[in-house]
């Protein structure tokens, strides 16, 4: 029987998941995240779940997070910070403890509330098809299960009372300044007055949207090769202009980089009127779209940060260097989910795939004894993981960076290594390093690692780092 990791907060939904798992005979363990957002109540939740696990003879894992500090450091919301922290830890537990999947306690009402939240955010079809009973932990191929999606909040409470189970109440769930809570306590009751079967109606809507999205996905994947250059991932304008629904194609291609409605409208208007896009730029949230005579290229926004006018839509490049292929619009494997996307100058990465300012970095941690050769293709680097703890900090190179290249005794400036490697200006702009000891870097990704981190017969675990 597969061993499952249950995410248990102590609330009624997750305790229902735990109680049902005990009664089903499922082999499982419990993982609890203490986000330290509610003072003593957070510690009380952790103690409650730990006690339940002890009484039922279930393995218990608990992790403390400084969620507020992480959110501030990453420049994201508390909700998003908690999501990244918990799923990152769950994935780590699966890898180190051998769990085959993670189960979370999302239920039918959560699914409906998320649908309405995404509707208010103008999400696309993927956001409106609703949570699925089976997906993957973000950034991994580890199965993510939602066994309670078929139960409503009322049904869960009825079940829990029938077996005499206990749970913890989270007072923040009553705070209607939180958008989800306002939907739960204000909007859903109003919708129920208008239609007593509104929950089932929302479920049907999500099913219909999901079916439509499947059709759209199939059509888009058949169209993609005709409009994306296979050599550099740029968008080819001539075949794009000839397409029906080209606004949808542009939306799907550029959505990962933060395409806004206003920029999409500008692009479509220019295409409709036959305007030349050569030399024009269009701002995306995490990149810049650059126009040439025959194509559009997505580039890092680094080279545009000194512009006095942040609204670059339609501005001429005048002097800016076009970095073709800085981002790829080519499809990636469906299991290779980009787990971090940002235009900040540093990126903290765990295992998974990340967009580090236009350079995709994939980090794997593997056992040394599974390697049959230390030879790697260009773009792949092997480093000893024994003395280089996670998370790794990836950043652009800086003047003064140096390392001791593999097989050498003395230090070498990265600027000199660029000369040896015949790096162009574009190559240098895309160069990413692993920050390590002040100016000493652990590696120039895709090229060289520091000699002290080389993989030897004594190495136990290895980082395999791939860039593209």
Tokens 């300012």, residue?
357
Query: Where are any strands of DSSP class E within 139-193?
Result: 143-145
C-alpha triplet 114, 115, 118: angle, nearest 5°: 85
- Domain edges within the chain: 3-172, 231-316, 343-467
pLDDT of residue 325: 36
Tokens 């306002």, residue?
182
pLDDT of residue 393: 93
CA gap 115, 136 in Å, rounded? 19
Q: Are strands 235-236 and 295-299 parallel, antiparallel or unpaired?
A: antiparallel
What is the pTM (predicted TM-score) of this model?
0.60
CA gap 200, 194 in Å, rounded? 13
Q: Locate 239 and state its tokens.
A: 């075949």
For the segment 385-429, what is each residue's pLDDT rounded down to a tens digit? 998 999 999 999 888 889 998 877 788 899 888 888 888 766 787
Q: Locate 16 and state its tokens.
A: 């229902």
For the segment 232-266, what is each residue's pLDDT rounded down to a tens digit? 788 999 999 999 899 999 998 988 788 888 888 88
Q: How many CA atoms lie within 13 A of 1 on its CB side?
A: 7
Look up the CATH number of domain 231-316. 3.30.465
CA gap 171, 187 in Å, rounded? 19
CA gap 314, 304 in Å, rounded? 14
Q: Locate 154 and state its tokens.
A: 């009322």
Residue 263: phi and psi, rounded to 5, are -70, -40
Is pLDDT at 304 greater than 90 in this prediction?
Answer: no
CA gap 87, 80 in Å, rounded? 11
CA gap 228, 295 in Å, rounded? 9
Residue 289's closest CA among 246, 250, 238, 342?
A: 250
CA gap 149, 126 in Å, rounded? 18
For the segment 332-373, what is each residue's pLDDT rounded down to a tens digit? 433 333 333 333 468 999 999 898 887 889 999 999 988 888
Q: Locate 92 and state its tokens.
A: 């780590």
Look up the CATH number of domain 3-172. 3.40.50.620
Q: Which residues contact 385 (CB under 8 A, 6 or more apart)?
A: 365, 459, 460, 461, 462, 463
């Amino acid at each position: 029987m597969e061993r499952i990791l249950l995410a248990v907060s102590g609330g009624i939904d997750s305790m229902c998941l735990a109680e049902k798992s005990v009664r089903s005979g499922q082999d499982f363990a419990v993982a609890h995240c203490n986000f330290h957002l509610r003072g003593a109540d957070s510690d009380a939740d952790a103690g409650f779940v730990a006690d339940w696990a002890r009484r039922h003879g279930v393995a218990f894992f608990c992790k403390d997070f400084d969620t507020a500090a992480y959110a501030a450091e990453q420049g994201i919301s508390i909700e998003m910070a908690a999501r990244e922290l918990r799923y990152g830890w769950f994935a780590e537990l699966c890898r180190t403890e051998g769990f085959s999947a993670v189960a979370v306690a999302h239920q039918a009402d959560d699914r409906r509330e998320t649908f309405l939240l995404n509707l208010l955010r103008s999400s696309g079809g993927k956001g409106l098809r609703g949570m699925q009973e089976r997906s993957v932990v973000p950034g991994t191929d580890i199965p993510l299960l939602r066994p309670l999606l078929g139960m409503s909040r009322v049904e869960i409470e009825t079940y829990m009372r029938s077996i005499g189970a206990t749970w913890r109440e989270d007072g923040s769930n009553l705070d209607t300044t939180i958008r989800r809570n306002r939907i739960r306590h204000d909007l859903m009751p109003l919708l129920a007055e208008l239609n007593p079967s509104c929950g089932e109606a929302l479920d049907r809507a999500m099913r219909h949207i999901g079916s439509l999205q499947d059709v759209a996905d199939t059509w888009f994947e058949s169209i993609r090769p005709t409009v994306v250059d296979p050599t550099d991932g740029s968008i080819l304008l001539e075949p794009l202009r000839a397409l029906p629904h080209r606004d949808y194609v542009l939306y799907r291609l550029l959505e990962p980089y933060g395409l806004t409605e206003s920029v999409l409208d500008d692009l479509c208007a220019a295409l409709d009127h036959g305007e030349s896009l050569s030399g024009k730029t269009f701002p995306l949230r995490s990149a810049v779209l650059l126009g040439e005579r025959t194509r559009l290229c997505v580039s890092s926004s680094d080279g545009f940060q000194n512009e006095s006018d942040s609204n670059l839509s339609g501005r001429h490049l005048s002097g800016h260097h076009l970095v073709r292929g800085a981002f790829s619009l080519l499809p990636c494997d469906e299991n290779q989910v980009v787990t971090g996307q940002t235009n900040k100058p540093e990126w903290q990465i765990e295992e998974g795939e990340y967009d580090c300012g236009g350079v995709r970095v994939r980090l794997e941690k593997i056992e040394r004894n599974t390697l049959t050769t230390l030879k790697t293709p260009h773009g792949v680097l092997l480093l000893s993981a024994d003395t280089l703890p996670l998370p790794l900090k990836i950043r652009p190179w800086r003047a003064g960076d140096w390392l001791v290249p593999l097989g050498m005794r003395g230090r070498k400036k990265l600027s000199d290594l660029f000369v040896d490697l015949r790096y162009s200006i574009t190559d240098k702009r895309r160069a990413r390093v692993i920050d390590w000891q002040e100016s000493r870097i652990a590696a120039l990704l895709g090229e060289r690692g520091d000699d002290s981190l080389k993989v030897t017969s004594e190495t136990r675990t290895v980082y395999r780092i791939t860039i593209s």
